[in-house]
Amino acid sequence: MAILGPALATAVSVPMWRRWCVRQGLVDDPGHRKIHATPVPLAGGFAVFTGLAVALLLGWLAVELGWLPGDSLPPMEYGVGRRWGSLLGILAGALGMLLLGAWDDWRELPAGMKFAGQAGIAWLVAASGVRVTLFVDNAAFSYAVTVLWMLTVTNALNFNDNMNGLCAGLGVLAAAWLGVSAAALGQYLVAILAFAMVGALLGYLPFNYPRASVFLGDAGSHLIGFLLAVMAILPHFYSVRLGAVKPLAVLTPLLVLAVPLLDLASVVIIRTWHGRPFWIGDTNHFSHRLVRAGLSKPQAVLVLWLGAALGGAIAFVYAHPPRF
């Protein structure tokens, strides 16, 4: 239900948001480094957020009204009751990233202003209780690492929104692995949030891959990156009480998100090496290099999806080794 509900809500909302974006002129026009010949509505982020918001609202109502099966209700009531402040912070942060990205789509914000907006949203979410702790019991360290992590992952997914289906597909795979990891440890609320993200992105993907009638835009890529950063923070990858006994498992999100993070690192290094601002786009992403190597664009995206799936599988097996 956590996957199917958001998928349906997102898919149903795409045509509505597509028409709205066309009326408002919120479209991606053909131009430099663009392969489309006609304007494409930047409706994807709004549709994905709609799917998530509708599903989470219905899920909250199900908990509050006791609609869940008896054995499912107590842990969900406990999770919502304990984490409601963090849940509100996550939802507010997601909306903030969506609107910041949409503003950038609309007016093309200066890089410094966009970065400051991202940092401000990340700090507010950290203040709501969603923070990286690792093994250092220091509030300033926790805030700094959390904001840095959210900025890095958000921009990594934003950088990877350069071919049809790539950003959304990477989001599906990462959220799925993080959700399975949380479920394996009995962290059901975290798992449901991750699976809801999987569903919302699956509801959007048919409109974007292999041919696109809508794009994510910065609104959508900011939303996906932010949510993945949060989903990587929420699970207790190392918790003796929950049976997760490998301390280095806290680093498994780096494997789950290896493809976008390595792509971000590579293009920043290349652009800096050539004396160009690292925030100015080019065609040195992994996807572009695969196309130059002879793959079609859909094939290049599939290869990167496969790499992301492999990274997630390795991370899961390390953190949850099979018992024979």
Give the Cα-Cα-Cα angle 267, 204, 150 (nearest 5 degrees). 45
* Model pTM score: 0.89
Instruction: Give pLDDT tens digits along the chain (324 positions).
Output: 889 999 999 999 999 999 999 999 899 876 555 555 578 999 999 999 999 998 888 877 776 776 666 666 666 666 666 666 678 888 899 999 999 999 999 888 898 999 999 999 999 999 888 887 766 677 888 899 999 999 999 999 999 999 999 999 999 999 999 999 888 888 888 888 999 999 999 999 999 998 989 999 999 999 999 999 999 988 766 554 555 555 566 778 899 999 999 999 999 999 999 889 888 888 899 999 999 999 999 999 999 999 999 999 998 888 776 665
Cβ-contact 153, 257 below 8 angstroms:
yes
Written as six digits, the tokens of 310 are 């492999």
> What is the rounded distance in angstroms from the CA atom of residue 124 to the CA atom of residue 143?
10
155 Cα distance to chain centroid: 10
Question: Which pLDDT value is given to residue 315?
Answer: 87
Helix, strand, or coil (residue 4): helix
Q: What is the spatial distance between Cα 17 and Cα 48, in angstroms, rounded to a whole number?
A: 10
pLDDT at 96: 95
Give me the pLDDT at residue 273, please.
92
| H helix runs in 65-163, sequence order | 73-107, 111-127, 139-159
Measured N-to-C along each axis, helices 166-184 and 217-233 cross at an angle, to the nearest 10 degrees, of 20
The tokens for 12 are: 């149903």
CA angle 231, 233, 238 (to 5 degrees): 120
d(CA 225, CA 112): 18
Pinpoint the alpha helices (H) of 185-241: 188-204, 217-233
Residue 92, burial from CB neighbour count under 10 angstroms (0-12, 13-18, 19+) = middle
C-alpha separations of 29 from 106, 249, 260 in Å: 12, 43, 25
Residue-range domain boundaries for the chain:
4-243
